[in-house]
Chain A
Amino acid sequence: MNHPPRHLLQIEGLYPPQIAAMLDVAESYVLLNRSGKTQRDLLRGRTLINLFFEDSTRTRTSFELAGKRLGADVINMSVSTSSVNKGETLLDTAATLNAMHCDLLVVRHDQSGAPAQLAQKVDAAVINAGDGTHEHPTQALLDALTIRRRRGRLEGLVVAICGDVLHSRVARSNIHLLTTMGSQVRVIGPPTLIPPAAERLGVEVFHDMKAGLQGADIVMTLRLQKERMARGLVPSAREFFRFYGLDAAKLAWAKPDALVMHPGPMNRGVEIDSAVADDPARSVIREQVEMGVAVRMAVLDLLSRRSRRND
């Protein structure tokens, strides 16, 4: 990547070579991490701020670890969004961070587009760590890396994304990435949890798991939040599990060696059965976590190249 992007706000709009290059760099960090070595000189003296307007232990920890392994000074900031003036907090925080001269800003927010708005106001490279129901680009990259390492390619694979697609930023980023890289993407879920015009994103829509999983190489399950049931989008967890929860019986409809993925944290017994989630022959859920650190190291590396070159 001779011209790395200034920010990583979304997967939509990235070109195949850009994605492939990110995955290649991430691949090298997988090897580095497994060797037990670090590269603490790469981001030495640089500041990475994890700015989380929404609770997240896993993603924040993953970015923190990635930053530290590359030698950055990592600061975690959690900002409550329960206050009335959410947006004021966002822009005030942007001004504050700018004054602190931070180099890399990792942002999670419960509102779609918030990191993009922040990116217009700060000098730092902004990495979207999940915004509302819009995108979660590093999750899609780590999912792609996991798949590519297991299957050797992304092109031509049939990937089924199951569950609450409507509210899922993970689904959106994955759809953009996988369709861009030539995978065949399906989404499966009750019609109330499939967004309007989903097929316009280049996916095939299914409401029946048996039909949707037919011939699938990869089965991705999405987290179903309890709040969705409170809003009446699905009547109950047990009904959802009956029709869309991934158990061994449903997994049998996919290819015999199909891999099972989940972005975590899992609701066992809602969108995924423990027997499937914990099956080492099929589940790559723990591997996804490992790939997450490597992908985030690659993103930090690539997005800081612009400023490192200017040193």
Chain B
Amino acid sequence: MTDTLITNVRLLDPANGLDQQGELLVRDGKIADLGAGLGRPDGAATVDGGGAVLCPGLVDMRAALGEPGFEYRETIASAAAAAAAGGITTLAALPDTAPAIDDPALVHLLVARGAETGSVDILPYGAVTRGCRGEEMAELGLLREAGAVAFTDGTRAIGPARLMALALTYARGFGCRIVQHPEEPSLADGGAATAGELATRLGLPAIPAEAEAIMVARDIGLAKLTGGAVHFAHVSTAEALELIRCAKDQGLSVTCDTAPPYFDLNETAIGNFRTYAKLSPPLRRDTDRLAVAAALADGTIDAVASDHQPRDVDDKRLPFALAAAGGSGLATLLAVTLAQVHGGGLDLADAIALLTVRPAKLLGSAAGTLGRGQAADLCLFHPERAWRVVSGELPGKAQNTPFDGRALEGRVLGTWKNGRLVFGAAEETA
């Protein structure tokens, strides 16, 4: 394999505190060297980065792939294409598929299918309960052995306190996190929008914001009780974040992520019954959105995940309360996160850390850094280049973006997986 030298880039690697102009040399799919003034080895191909930012390939810690079972929504191949276009080279896949990822063979399947794409590593979540049905615990140990990085029932909350306590206790033995969809089911079931004036005006069944905080409070208590590690997915409310902040201050094993809609959009995005903005948890009031943005900046939130939930037109073209919740998010993950940087609330390096090394560490993955000898998983992006999100023109199959029509700054120019260019028009010159 020949060498590739990526020149004229701003090297950004939050894991190593690196932020400088320079070059990066790829050899045999790995990062051979990086820094300023690297010589060009004989026969190396050169890519002119044009002054853009070169950072580790993004690590998305939460995405639904549609496969197996929902191939009409998204396949692993189509999700991989969307991920590559979004600069994502590592992706943790949710287990609430059909069948659910509750058997070691299915974990192997996902890893293998990811490898087939050549552009994205799939880190499978294992199901906490068989079939993600919320009844009996799945074979966490065997799933772990097969390669599951953590356990969750996906978009389904682990409802009974006893079951959650059991899972936290048992998973502790394997050093694994339980990832919770924090929503008290008896308050959230049947709801379509966050409780408040807008839901009342639209006559939509509502989910109180407290449904999240109540579940977070309970699970923090259970983490304390069991010594287990709990991770809250797509946290969306000020109250829940405050609870998590306190738990972290107490030194408990509590972490959380959020997704771009929760710091970029508020409930008004559902406007006149726009089902593409129907998400789970629902979009919240603007005070909650601002609290999520603040928690990104102060470090309470450990990662930004795409929370990619592919849906097709038939899932969404229904009366609002009956339409499927969920938005596609792979292609917009970076640019919407960068909006926080442009808005002045977040450092660029912190934003990239939330998209790379921090989620990688949560998942026990070595990805998300630019260390010498590491796999050359790279993302080249221009932080200011503008584009507009248009449903129907997004890469991949799932076009159900809640950001339809949103103008964004920050465009991925090239994505490399193991040193191979898997997305972008970056020109290689010999």
Known: A113-B319, A114-B319, A117-B273. A133 touches B201 (CB 8 A): no
* Chain A stretch 78-131: residues in CB contact (< 8 A) with chain B: 86-88, 90-91, 109, 111-114, 116-117, 131
Q: Does B426 have its Cβ within 8 Å of any Cβ on chain A?
A: no
- Interchain CB contact under 8 A, A197 and B200: yes
Q: Does A265 have its Cβ within 8 Å of any Cβ on chain B?
A: no
Q: Does B321 have its Cβ within 8 Å of any Cβ on chain A?
A: yes
Residues from chain A with a CB closer than 8 A to the CB of B320 are 111-113
Residue of B nearest to A135 (CB): B203
Q: How far is the CA of A132 from the CA of B205 in the complex (A)?
A: 10
Q: How far is the CA of A112 from the CA of B275 in the complex (A)?
A: 12
The B interface, classified by DSSP as helix, strand, loop or mixed, is loop
Residues from chain A with a CB closer than 8 A to the CB of B196 are 196-197, 200
Q: How far is the CA of A88 from the CA of B323 in the complex (A)?
A: 11
**A166 to B: closest C-beta gap in Å:** 9
Residues from chain B with a CB closer than 8 A to the CB of A169 are 203
Which of B197, B201, B203, B206 has the most C-beta atoms of chain A within 10 angstroms of its own C-beta? B203
- Interchain CB contact under 8 A, B273 and A116: yes
- Interchain CB contact under 8 A, A87 and B200: no
Known: A112-B321, A196-B196. A131 touches B203 (CB 8 A): yes
Q: How far is the CA of A91 from the CA of B317 in the complex (A)?
A: 8
Residues from chain B with a CB closer than 8 A to the CB of A111 are 319-322
Q: Which single member of B200, B208, B318 contacts A201 (CB below 8 Å)?
A: B200
Q: Does B249 have its Cβ within 8 Å of any Cβ on chain A?
A: no
Residues from chain A with a CB closer than 8 A to the CB of B201 are 12, 172, 201
Residue of B nearest to A172 (CB): B203
Number of interface residues of A (CB under 8 A): 26
Q: Does B109 have its Cβ within 8 Å of any Cβ on chain A?
A: no
Q: How far is the CA of A150 from the CA of B201 in the complex (A)?
A: 29
Q: How far is the CA of A169 from the CA of B195 in the complex (A)?
A: 17
Known: A197-B196, A200-B197, A201-B197. A87 touches B203 (CB 8 A): no
Q: How far is the CA of A134 from the CA of B193 in the complex (A)?
A: 13
Residues from chain B with a CB closer than 8 A to the CB of A134 are 202-204
Q: How far is the CA of A196 from the CA of B202 in the complex (A)?
A: 12
Residue of B nearest to A118 (CB): B319
Q: Which single member of A109, A198, A200 contacts B319 (CB below 8 Å)?
A: A109
Q: How far is the CA of A261 from the CA of B321 in the complex (A)?
A: 30
Q: Does A182 have its Cβ within 8 Å of any Cβ on chain B?
A: no
Cβ proximity bits B277-309 to A, threshold 8 Å, 1 near / 0 not: 000000000000000000000000000000000
**A5 to B: closest C-beta gap in Å:** 14
Q: Does B16 have its Cβ within 8 Å of any Cβ on chain A?
A: no
Q: How far is the CA of A14 from the CA of B314 in the complex (A)?
A: 32
Q: How far is the CA of A185 from the CA of B272 in the complex (A)?
A: 25
- Interchain CB contact under 8 A, B202 and A112: yes
- Interchain CB contact under 8 A, B273 and A87: no
Residues from chain A with a CB closer than 8 A to the CB of B203 are 112-113, 131-135, 169, 172
**B3 to A: closest C-beta gap in Å:** 55
**B285 to A: closest C-beta gap in Å:** 10
Residues from chain A with a CB closer than 8 A to the CB of B208 are 196
Q: Does B199 have its Cβ within 8 Å of any Cβ on chain A?
A: yes
Q: Does A195 have its Cβ within 8 Å of any Cβ on chain B?
A: yes
Residues from chain B with a CB closer than 8 A to the CB of A117 are 273, 317, 319
Which of B205, B206, B273 has the most C-beta atoms of chain A within 10 angstroms of its own C-beta? B273
- Interchain CB contact under 8 A, A197 and B314: no
Residue of A nearest to B320 (CB): A113
Q: How far is the CA of A111 from the CA of B323 in the complex (A)?
A: 11
Q: How far is the CA of A109 from the CA of B203 in the complex (A)?
A: 13
- Interchain CB contact under 8 A, B317 and A87: yes
Q: How far is the CA of A197 from the CA of B34 in the complex (A)?
A: 57
**A109 to B: closest C-beta gap in Å:** 7
- Interchain CB contact under 8 A, A86 and B202: no
- Interchain CB contact under 8 A, A86 and B318: yes
Residue of A nearest to B323 (CB): A87
Q: How far is the CA of A114 from the CA of B319 in the complex (A)?
A: 5
Residue of B nearest to A197 (CB): B197
Residue of B nearest to A90 (CB): B319
Known: A86-B318, A87-B318, A91-B317. A112 touches B204 (CB 8 A): yes
**A83 to B: closest C-beta gap in Å:** 12
Residue of B nearest to A9 (CB): B272
Residues from chain B with a CB closer than 8 A to the CB of A91 are 317
Q: How far is the CA of A85 from the CA of B208 in the complex (A)?
A: 28
Residues from chain B with a CB closer than 8 A to the CB of A200 are 196-197, 200
Known: A113-B273, A116-B273, A196-B195. A86 touches B200 (CB 8 A): no
Residues from chain B with a CB closer than 8 A to the CB of A197 are 195-197, 200
Q: How far is the CA of A91 from the CA of B204 in the complex (A)?
A: 20
Q: How far is the CA of A201 from the CA of B200 in the complex (A)?
A: 9
**A81 to B: closest C-beta gap in Å:** 10
- Interchain CB contact under 8 A, B314 and A88: yes
* Chain A stretch 240-269: residues in CB contact (< 8 A) with chain B: none
Residue of B nearest to A136 (CB): B203
* Chain B stretch 186-223: residues in CB contact (< 8 A) with chain A: 195-197, 199-206, 208
Q: How far is the CA of A86 from the CA of B205 in the complex (A)?
A: 17
- Interchain CB contact under 8 A, A87 and B202: no
Residue of A nearest to B196 (CB): A197
Residues from chain B with a CB closer than 8 A to the CB of A196 are 195-197, 199-200, 206, 208
* Chain A stretch 127-180: residues in CB contact (< 8 A) with chain B: 131-135, 169, 172
Residue of A nearest to B316 (CB): A87
Q: Which single member of A87, A109, A113, A172 contacts B272 (CB below 8 Å)?
A: A113
Cβ proximity bits B224-244 to A, threshold 8 Å, 1 near / 0 not: 000000000000000000000
Residues from chain B with a CB closer than 8 A to the CB of A114 are 319
Q: Which single member of B200, B205, B206 contacts A198 (CB below 8 Å)?
A: B200
Q: Which 7 A-B pairs have the closest CB atoms?
A: A87-B318, A111-B319, A134-B203, A113-B273, A133-B203, A200-B197, A112-B203
Name 20 extra pairs, CB < 8 A, besides A86-B322, A112-B320, A133-B203: A12-B201, A87-B322, A88-B318, A91-B317, A109-B319, A111-B319, A112-B202, A112-B321, A113-B203, A113-B319, A113-B321, A132-B203, A132-B321, A133-B204, A134-B204, A196-B195, A196-B200, A197-B196, A198-B200, A201-B200
Q: Can you list 10 contacts pairing A with B, beta carbon distance less than 8 Å? A: A86-B322, A88-B318, A111-B320, A112-B320, A117-B319, A132-B321, A133-B203, A172-B201, A195-B199, A196-B208
